Structure formats: structure tokens, C-alpha cells
Structure 1
Amino acid sequence: MVRGKTQMRRIENKTSRQVTFSKRRNGLLKKAFELSVLCDAEIATIIFSPSGKLYEFSSSSMSNILERYQTKTKDAGCSVETTEIDLQNLKGNSLDMAKRIELLEVSKRRLSGEVLDMSSVEELQSTQNQLERSLSRIRARKNQLFKEQIEQLKQEEKKLSDENERLQRKKGMREPLQFVTEHPEAPRGQGLNVETELSIGCPQLHRLNIIPHEDGLSIH
């Protein structure tokens, strides 16, 4: 016989209601016991009958379980309250950040000259002063960079000058000797009249003068 589905509503018949309570109470306590044994869970079950009679089951000390329950619910309540406070703070910070972003966006557009129609004289003067301060800082930074580049170029120029001077000194020390063996304008086949002194023996006793001629050498 197929068991029909029980409707979830109060049983009007008092006798039937008492029988159903007894059956389901025993089944609930049995399931709690099985769950505590099979899963090593700490379980406490409290039941009051319609007449006010107490039925309970606990896998360990009921007072310890209730105390643990109260501590957990208290911590959970504090945690929920803290979370709500944090959320409120985050919302406030988000609104402040959104306002700051909006103001920065307006200031940016004003500096770029996009939204000047609705600006007052004071706002325009403030924007002008801000631009002048920014331009002054930009010029100062640019001049500093120029000075650094000039100083770097001077250092490189000095290094090149020192290297060039060192190479010139090195080249002067290694300059080869030049010898002239023949006069470039002398015609071929003709010699030059060169007096050559040749001494034979002791220079103080004999001195021979050899003069080259076309017919030969003449010795005097």
C-alpha cells in the first residue's frame, strides 16, 4: 500500500495530533543519536510537547553544548554588527572617493580649457595661477635637464681632447727618420761636385782631396 503524502499543516484532531507527535519525536531523537555517532557531531535536541513536557537528547553535556551555542551566537552577533559598520564605512569612503574623482575630473577639464563657460572670475583666476605655477616648475625642470646635458657634453669633450693629446704625443715619439739619397732635380747620368776628404793613415800626416769629374776622380 502506497503511503500518501502528509500535508504540512496543524492536525486538528487532538488524538491524531498526540500520536503523530509521539512517533515523530522518537524518530527525531533517534536520528539525532545516529548523526552524533556516525559523524562524531556534538548534538543537543530539546523538545517541548503541546502540554509543556520536556524531551531532550545530547551527545555530551547539555549545559556545555548550550554554553557553546550562546558563545557562538554572541560572537556571530558581534561579527554581524562589525560587518555592518565596515560596510557603512566603505560606503562612506566610496562616496567621498566618487566626489573627489568628480572634482578632479572637473579641475582637469578646466585646466585643459574645456569647461570655462560656467566658471566665475575667481575660478578662472585660480586656474590661471595654477597653470602659471605648473609652467614655472616645468621650465625649472627643463633648465635643470639642459644643464645636466651640457655638463655631460663638456665631460665627453674633455675626454676626447685628452685622448687626442695622448695620441699626438705617441705619434711624435714614433716619427720615422727621413734620408735624402738623390737630389730630385739632378739629371740622370751626371754626378754632383762633392768634395770628400779621405785620409789614409794618420790624419795629421796625409790629407787627400778627392774631387769627382766627368773623366774620373782627381786626387790632390
Structure 2
Amino acid sequence: MVRQKTQIRKIENLAARQVTFSKRRRGLFKKAQELSTLCDIDMALIVFSATGKLFHYPSSSMNQVLERHRLQSENVGELQQPSREMQIECRKSAMLSKELAEKALELRQMKGQDLQGLDIKGLDKLEAILDSGLVEVVKTKGERMLKEISTLKKKEAQLLEENAHLKQQLAMMDTSIGQMGIHDQCCDHHSLELTISSLSSRVPPQNYHISSSDTCLKLG
């Protein structure tokens, strides 16, 4: 005969229920012992009967197994739940993201984009911000231009000073060259006179009647 499968449901008969509990409890504890021995694991079984009676099976020490279970539960809870510091950082990150989105929207609105969500009051506020910013831009631009003009004027004065100094040096060089030319002419005239005197001392007395024009021609 084929053994019929027992339906898993509550046994209504109290005596039969107690007998089934006793048999299956012993079988469960036996299976737990075999599993602990074969696989070298720590395990503990705790069973309360319908009358509230406690039955348990520890593979080593019930207190040690329960302590390990408590620590493991705490560690799992810490991993599942973010720490306080992490929660604070998450809130800060969310606030910064929101602020960044708001600033990006304001920037687009200043460029004339995404204006559909603004009412008259918002548009007036945006116009006031743009006017104030324009005033500051014009003011800063004027200051920069004045600063650049002042710098260019200083450079112009420096170049004019250098140009005047170069002109003065050039004039001094021209004067020195002119003085050197006069000195050279004087030296040439003095050398010519010495040459004529030397030649005159070598000419015989009978030739003294030669005119100065002839002497000049001969020298020439």
C-alpha cells in the first residue's frame, strides 16, 4: 500500500497533540545533534510546549550561542541602519543639492530663461537684481579703464624721458665728432708747414729765387 502523506495542520485532539509533540521534539533534537556533529557548528534549539514548558538543545553552551546571536543581530542592525554621522551627511548633501538646483534656476532666469514660473513680484525682484548687477559691472569696468589709462600715461612719460635722454646723448656725440674734426684739420695744417720747411732747408741757395707758387705746385 502507498503511504498517504499526512496533512500539516493543527491536531485538534489534545492527547494526540501531546504525543506528536513529544515524538517530533525528540526527532528534531536528534537531527540538530547530527547536524552539529557532522558540520562542526554551534547551534541551539529552544522550544516551548503548548503548556509553556521549556525544552532546549545547545550544541555547546546555550549562553555562548545566545550571546553570539545577540552580537550578530546588533551588527546586522548597524549595517542596515545608517549611523548618525551618515544621516547628517545625507541631509547636508540633500540641502546642498537643493541649493545648487535653486542657484542654477536663478542663473537661467538671469539669462532670460525659465521665466514661466515667476509672477509679477518675482519678475520685479529679478529686474532689481539685474539693475544692481549692471551698475556694479559698469562701475568696475570704469575703474579698470581708468587704471589702464593711468598705466599707459606712465609708460608714455617713461618713453618720452628715454627719448630725451637719447637725443642728449646723440647731441653730445655730434659735438665730440666736430671737435675731433677741427683737431685733425689743425694737425694736418701743422704737418704741411713742417714738410715745407724741411724741403726749403734742403734746396740749394741758387734755387731760392723760386716763387712760392712753384713750390706749391711742386709739392702738389
What is the TM-score of this pair, normalised by structure 2? 0.50
Consecutive unaligned residues of structure 1, counting only runs of 5 or more, are: 38-42, 181-194, 202-209
Paired residues of 2:48 and 2:54 also in contact (CA < 8 A): yes
Structure 2 CA distance for aligned equivalents of residues 74 and 20 of structure 1: 33
Whether the 8 Å CA contact 1:110–1:116 is kept in 2: the answer is no
Cα deviation for residue 30 of structure 1 reads: 2.7
Q: What pairs with 1:1-220 in structure 2 (closer than 5 Å)?
A: 9=8, 19-36=23-40, 43-48=42-47, 50=49, 52=53, 54-59=55-60, 61-74=61-74, 77=77, 90=90, 94=94, 98=98, 101=101, 105=105, 108-109=108-109, 112=112, 115=115, 119-120=119-120, 122-157=121-156, 160-161=159-160, 164=163, 169=169, 173=173, 199=197, 211-212=212-213, 216=217
Deviations for 1:138-191, whole angstroms, at most 9, x for unmatched residues?
Answer: 1122123223433443454455456555655379549756869xxxxxxxxxxx
Cα deviation code 1:9-48 (max 9, x no counterpart): 45968667755543443222332344446xxxxx341232
**CA-atom RMSD, angstroms?**
5.5
Instruction: Give CA-to-partner distance per residue, 1:178-216, whole Å, 9 cap, x none.
Output: 869xxxxxxxxxxxxxx9695569xxxxxxxx8436994
Whole-Å separation in 2 of the counterparts to 1:131 and 1:92: 30
Q: Is the 8 A contact 2:44 2:57 kept in 1?
A: yes
2:132 alignment partner, SS class = helix
How many angstroms does 1:131 deviate by? Answer: 1.7
Question: Aligned residues: percent identity?
Answer: 14
TM-score normalized by the length of structure 1: 0.50
Structure (1/2) with the larger helix percentage = 2
SS across alignment from 2:63: helix
CA contact (8 A) 2:110 2:126 kept: yes
Unmatched segments (≥5 aa) in structure 2: 183-191, 201-210
> C-alpha distance in 1, partners of 2:9/2:165?
114
Give the Cα–Cα distance (whole angstroms) in 2 for the partners of residues 77 and 130 of structure 1.
Answer: 51
**In structure 1, what is the Cα distance between the partners aligned to 2:25 and 2:155?**
102
The AA in structure 2 aligned to 1:149 is: E
